[in-house]
A = this chain, B = another copy of it.
Amino acid sequence: MTAPLPGRRYTEHMAVPAVAVTTAPLSLEAVIDVVSAGGSASGAVASFSGLVRDHNQGRTVTFLEYEAYVPLAVKGMERIVSEAGETWPGVRLALHHRIGRLDPGEASIVIAAAGAHRADTFSACRYAIERVKQIVPIWKREHFEGGDVWLEGATADPEDEAARAQALRVSCA
């Protein structure tokens, strides 16, 4: 991944990639454009934005700090695109994850899935966010009033078929 230039959106100076890990503000429109490119064969685009909440577990969140093992995070996201393509043939998927400091209300992730039929695009979009939380080496530290804490979720293992089955299940696949 090319590092973005300071102070510019990454969409201004590069062809938008299907997957990206970037410190720049995210654009849902950018990932929608990626999956919509190539004509009018798609009848449906499902999309998702994950936003920083101002409260979590009763704490007032001041900001989040995201960190990634970037080369492996990009590979993990590419793997998710590939898994989705195998599970829902013809569906195109794009996802961008932001890292660095994020204030409440800012998007930490944007995802878009386009295809001929809506069911597959909803499933692929939901699958992508579930898999990001399972296998992509990105971490967030929550800064709240009175302290900060690293949040820890799933032990990342792309080969864990039980985790993948769980992601498929909640995706209504």
Residues of A within 8 A of B (CB): 28-29, 32, 36, 39-55, 104-105, 116, 118-119, 121-122, 125-126, 129, 170-172
Judging by beta carbons under 8 Å apart, are A126 and B116 in contact? Answer: no
Complex-state Cα separation, A129 to B43, whole angstroms: 13
Q: Which residues of B contact A49 (CB under 8 A)?
A: 32, 44-45, 47
Judging by beta carbons under 8 Å apart, are B42 and A116 in contact? Answer: no
Complex-state Cα separation, A125 to B40, whole angstroms: 22
Complex-state Cα separation, A28 to B170, whole angstroms: 25
Judging by beta carbons under 8 Å apart, are A48 and B45 in contact? Answer: yes
Judging by beta carbons under 8 Å apart, are A52 and B32 in contact? Answer: no
Q: Which residues of B contact A46 (CB under 8 A)?
A: 46-48, 125
List 13 other contacts, CB 8 Å, given A39-B105, A41-B53.
A28-B28, A29-B29, A36-B105, A39-B54, A40-B104, A41-B54, A43-B50, A43-B53, A44-B48, A47-B47, A122-B122, A122-B126, A126-B172
Q: Which residues of B contact A104 (CB under 8 A)?
A: 40
